[in-house]
Structure 1
């Protein structure tokens, strides 16, 4: 048998380069179209303003299940980031100045970027400068509260106890992910100080009222945790508020209302 001729390497290399050039041209053209399209869909900034044990963690996981949303946790839980208004503004700039189109926006044109911010993390004390910043940068506020402050108080006490008791196999979890975990945590029955109960509940309601008053000039929406559980249109309203496509959202966290004894 006669030996087959070796392939012409120069032609093979030329063919490969030609195909890569066509592919590269297609990618560049697609990027140009994407950039042109995204230019009409700017990144939208938001902040979830809430209180501890009000369902903000679960709410944030719902938002993050949307491929147009990136909510980045409780960034002001770190004290140095909120020690004064200068550090607060610097932290806000770090979040909102990032190139979200190539990172947390998940490569979608329409993106909503934000984080959680608790009312007791420098928000109320520095509200004037923060409101000015929100209005200047176009940051929308999503207020998330609970209609039943007593249940929130029970949740705060139970969570504080579990931080030291570590009821789930020696670990502390602020949020539950299964009915079994909820059942384990619900075995603890916190004791409420009846003497200060009314005062404590009023303080919670006063903080929420102050926040709404201070931020009434911002673009904002008020959401109640109980409505997220019982009203299917509430999440739709939040997505419309953020100007993102309305989609079905889900979370791996167990809904708090499924754990009434604990929360």
Structure 2
């Protein structure tokens, strides 16, 4: 009986685990392995992505700097390497560029002088940019325009683009230059802009040219068109037929005013790197253009212009009231203007 009870007790407490199917176990292991694989792959992808961003996006690409040109230490502020936004300088990216501005007055030969500069393969002078009033409305628009010019992003017929070695503009004294002279001088000195002063010695001849040009704006003597500059002797002869009548009473005060404006400009901009030129001197001696090229540090070239001089010969043949003018000017500091020619 005891043996039966013991046997019964063993039967109660001994529980046999049923055998699981081998196929189901394999499926569980496979699913677990796939989940682990997907998790590990996602972590790896994130690490690779982060590494790529750090290696290719956040680290700036440094360009090889241009070799230093062989220049004097004082020249360093005047040597620039513009990076235009509108195009690439390509092979000329390491060609240094000098900045300049031609400061002048209307009818002082600046148009003719600028055509000579633009005849050089490496000089770009972009014309009378600030003749447009909106560009000189305030110092901010002036600086914005200058920045665009000196960054080689000002596109005009004079632009040499890639291999420009000197870039600038023609700027008349009455085009915001004197009004904002303090800020402009600071800009020139900070940016390393060289100044070319171009004036006319014979202010009486300049006055005749100014009056004749004003007259032609309305009269349009050349087949109904107005031209400030001409390229043929025939056109020059037509324009020269007009003989302006000068106000003899205001003649001397007007000449003095021009002199004072010129002197004031020279005084204002004396702290800039500059050169002073006179139209008559260049006409008499074209070798002075070599000095200009040396000033701009460009290779020497023979410079030519297609422009033809309009008013030539004696002043007595160019002024409608010559007798009154001669009488008023004689005995003054301007008497030499009556007979000087070139």
Q: How far has the Cα of 1:98 moved from its partner?
A: 2.9
1:209 aligns with 2:275: no
Aligned to 1:105: 160
Distance change >3 Å, CA 137–CA 262, structure 1 → 2: farther
Residues 6-30 of structure 1, C-alpha deviations (whole Å, 9 max, x = no match): xxxxxxxxxxxxxxxxxxxxxxxxx
Matched, 1:220 2:274: yes
Q: Figure out how many residues of one structure are paired with residues of the other and give that number.
A: 228
Q: Distance in 2 between matches of 1:241 and 1:144?
A: 14
Q: Does 1:232 align with 2:286?
A: yes
Asked if the contact 2:126/2:159 (under 8 Å) is kept, the reply is no
Correspondent of 2:225 among 166, 171, 190: 171
Larger Rg: 2
Give a deviation string over 1:32-62, Cα, whole Å, max 9, x none: 99978763x4111101100001111111111
Q: Which residue of 1 aligns with 2:211?
A: 157
What is the aligned partner in structure 2 of residue 52 from structure 1?
106
Give TM-score scaled by structure 2 length: 0.63
The equivalent of 2:23 in structure 1 is none
Higher RCO, Cα 8 Å, sep 6+: 1
Deviation at 1:125, TM superposition (A): 1.1
**Equivalent-residue separation in structure 1 for 2:92 and 2:184 (angstroms):** 32
Aligned 8 A contact 1:62 1:251 in 2: yes
1:122 aligned counterpart, secondary structure? helix
1:54-203 equivalent positions in 2, closer than 5 A: 54-98=108-152, 104-108=159-163, 111-203=165-257
Hey, what's the Cα distance between the residues in 2 that align with 1:179 and 1:210? 36
RMSD: 2.3
Unmatched segments (≥5 aa) in structure 2: 1-65, 68-88, 320-342
- Distance apart, 1:172 and its partner CA: 0.8
Q: How far apart in 2 are the matches of 1:210 and 1:251?
A: 31
- Structure 1 residues not aligned, in runs of 5+: 1-31
How far did residue 232 of structure 1 move? 2.3
Change (3 A) 1:59 1:86: same
**In 2, Cα distance between the equivalents of 1:222 and 1:152?**
18
Is the 8 Å Cα contact of residues 236 and 309 (structure 2) preserved in structure 1? no
